Amino acid sequence: MTPVRAWDTAVAVATAVLLVVIVLVFPPATTSRTVTAVTAVAVLVAAYLLLARGRIDRERPGWRGALFVGVAAAALGAGTAAEPFLAIAQTLAYPLVWVIMRTERQAIAGSVLLAAGVLVGTAASARFSLDGWLSGALTAGASLTVSIVFGLWISSIARSAEERGRLMTQLADTRDELEALSRQQGAAAERERLAREIHDTLAQTLAGLVILAERAGRQSGAGNAVGATETMKTVEDAARAALGEARALVAHTAAVPGDQALEAAVHRLVERFRGETGLRIDLTVAAGASLDRETQVVVLRCLQEALANVRKHAHASLVTVSVEVTDVSARLRVVDDGRGFDASAPRRGFGLDGMADRVSLAGGVFEVVPSGSGTVLTAEVPRRITEVSS
Query: Tell me, what CATH number does 314's domain have?
Result: 3.30.565.10
Q: Is the pTM of this model over 0.95?
A: no
User: Distance of CA 252 to CAs 242, 249, 297, Å?
Assistant: 15, 5, 13
pLDDT at 256 over 80: no
Q: Is 112 within a domain? A: yes
Q: Is 143 within a domain? A: no
Q: Is 84 within a domain? A: yes
Structural domain ending residue among the three candidates 128, 158, 176: 128
- Of 372 and 322, the structure prediction assigns the larger pLDDT to 322
Q: Is 338 within a domain? A: yes
Residue 320: its pLDDT value, please?
93
Residue 196: its pLDDT value, please?
67
Residue numbers of the domain that contains 7: 3-128
pLDDT single digits (tens) 35-44: 888 898 899 8
Angle, helix 293-309 to helix 204-221, in steps of 10 degrees: 40
> Mean pLDDT over residues 44-73, rounded?
79
- Of 183 and 153, the structure prediction assigns the larger pLDDT to 153
Structural domain ending residue among the three candidates 128, 144, 171: 128
What DSSP letter does each residue of 208-246 carry, written as one string?
HHHHHHHHHHHHHHTT-HHHHHHHHHHHHHHHHHHHHHH
pLDDT at 158 over 90: no
pLDDT at 183 over 90: no
The answer to whether 111 touches 147, Cβ cutoff 8 Å, is yes
In the chain, the number of structural domains is: 2
Q: Is 141 within a domain? A: no
Write down how long the chain is: 390
pLDDT at 188 over 60: yes
Q: Is 265 within a domain? A: yes
Structural domain ending residue among the three candidates 128, 146, 177: 128
pLDDT single digits (tens) 298-338: 888 889 888 888 888 778 889 999 999 888 889 999 999 88
- Of 192 and 270, the structure prediction assigns the larger pLDDT to 270
